[in-house]
Structure 1
Amino acid sequence: MRFPNRKEAGQELALRLMEWAADGDLPDPVVLALPRGGVPVAVQIARALSAPLDVLVVRKIGLPGRPEAGIGAIVGDDPPLFDTRALEMLGLSEDRLVPDVERERAELHRRNLLYRGDRPAPDIKDRTVIVVDDGLATGATARAALRYLRRLGPARLILAVPVGAPESCAEMRSEADDVVCLYQPPDFQAVGLWYEDFDQVSDEEVIGTLREH
């Protein structure tokens, strides 16, 4: 199974969540996309639920020389959240990754300003919060996002992704109240393998989607 693109993946996720909404299980929802790839998925859910859409900028901390391999993540001005087991296995210290953290922190602030300007973040206290991305690989960014949001007091915290690694989906069940993942292939490897069209989402597309919605 492969999704044609992020839009259609979002529409399939929306159908699943609309079933919950019809049963009254999603009161006062707000949809938060993890940009950039999560935005075209999340907007389909927000439209289907007639819910507000916003973004939560999270930056992955990658291995030195292998930025695509996530070993941690940062949200806002929070300290980085690392996979300590992986650090130990690789013989890496958090101090060794300080330059990487500083670089990603600067990019995080750049994107926050670009996407949100001076618009305040939504108040999620006592609301149903649906966190959306285009897939779940190591779970580093999703874990950081969920822990950050949990402290803000949502009534219910849901992670929704079209596809994910089975072990990562299982781990996220201790971070979110519910995890919705349509497809968990045992030979997962990478998110992009499960999309026919996995072109990079641009900043302009993120800004346009937020403005339109």
Structure 2
Amino acid sequence: MYFESRAEAGEKLASELFEKYRFEDCAVVALNDGGILVGEPVAARLHSVLVMIVSEDIEIPGESLMIGGVSQNGNFVRNSFMTQGEFEGYQNEFFGYFEQLKRESFQKINRLLGEGGTIELDLLRDRNIILVSDGLSEKSSIDVAIDFLKPVRYKKLIVISPVASVATIDRLHITADELHVLDVKANYLDTSHYYDDNNIPSHEESVKKINDIILNWQ
């Protein structure tokens, strides 16, 4: 399945969630700027807040493989699709490089946090949390997000995405209370492959969408 835009895919997901959650207390939590575009129509239909978890991927040099990610609380979370042995092997080989990347990533996150639109844990407490991404693959930031939410008491963890890999769906069946995915791919390509329109908002534009969401409640 291919989508004209992330907003169009978000409208389809909003329709799936509307009847069940229209009168429930929800918070839509985007995993990235593309997730903001998917989550915006969901938050508008459900009259919920829209926020974003800011994180940075740590990738292995010369490979399109994510060893883990750093979230806005400073925690490093290992990519759960990597075995402990694989992780330790890469960690030993590139230890100094990874430590430098972690520091640089946290500094970048702190700069973005200063621009607003990010998440306060109190805003999520005792709500249904709807985690949203524009695509969930083995290198997505879902592990970082779930680690970030550990201190929060919430009703349900609902994960939604227009497209996801089979392996990610298998993992999420363990950690999420509910999944809404429009298309599951055995061979997941780059997320942008599944959209005709790949204009992603800057972080500043995402912050404006977050701040304006109440004006767009339907």
Task: Confirm or deny that 1:92 pairs with 2:93.
Answer: no
> Secondary structure of 2:124's partner?
coil
Match of 1:156 in 2: 156
Match of 1:35 in 2: 32
Match of 1:124 in 2: 124
8 Å contact kept, 1:135–1:164: yes
Normalised to the residue count of structure 2, the TM-score between the two structures is 0.85
Amino acid at match of 1:81: V
8 Å contact kept, 1:28–1:127: yes
Match of 1:145 in 2: 145
Match of 1:113 in 2: 114
Q: Distance in 1 between matches of 2:189 and 2:84?
A: 20
Match of 1:73 in 2: 69
Q: Distance in 2 between matches of 1:131 and 1:31?
A: 6
Match of 2:197 in 1: 197
Deviations 1:148-184 (A, max 9, x none): 2132111111111110111112112222212221100
Q: 1:47 aligns with which of 44, 47, 62?
A: 44
Normalised to the residue count of structure 1, the TM-score between the two structures is 0.87
How many residues align structurally? Answer: 208
Match of 2:216 in 1: none
8 Å contact kept, 1:72–1:140: no
Amino acid at match of 2:165: A
Task: Confirm or deny that 1:171 pairs with 2:168.
Answer: no
Aligned-residue identity in percent: 24
Amino acid at match of 2:46: L
Match of 1:57 in 2: 54
8 Å contact kept, 2:10–2:40: yes
Q: Which runs of 5+ in 1 are unaligned?
A: none
8 Å contact kept, 2:160–2:179: yes
Task: Confirm or deny that 1:15 pairs with 2:11.
Answer: no
Q: Distance in 2 between matches of 1:106 and 1:172?
A: 30
Q: Which runs of 5+ in 2 are unaligned?
A: 214-218
Match of 1:185 in 2: 185
Q: What is the aligned-residue RMSD (CA, Å)?
A: 2.2
Q: Distance in 1 between matches of 2:51 and 2:39?
A: 9
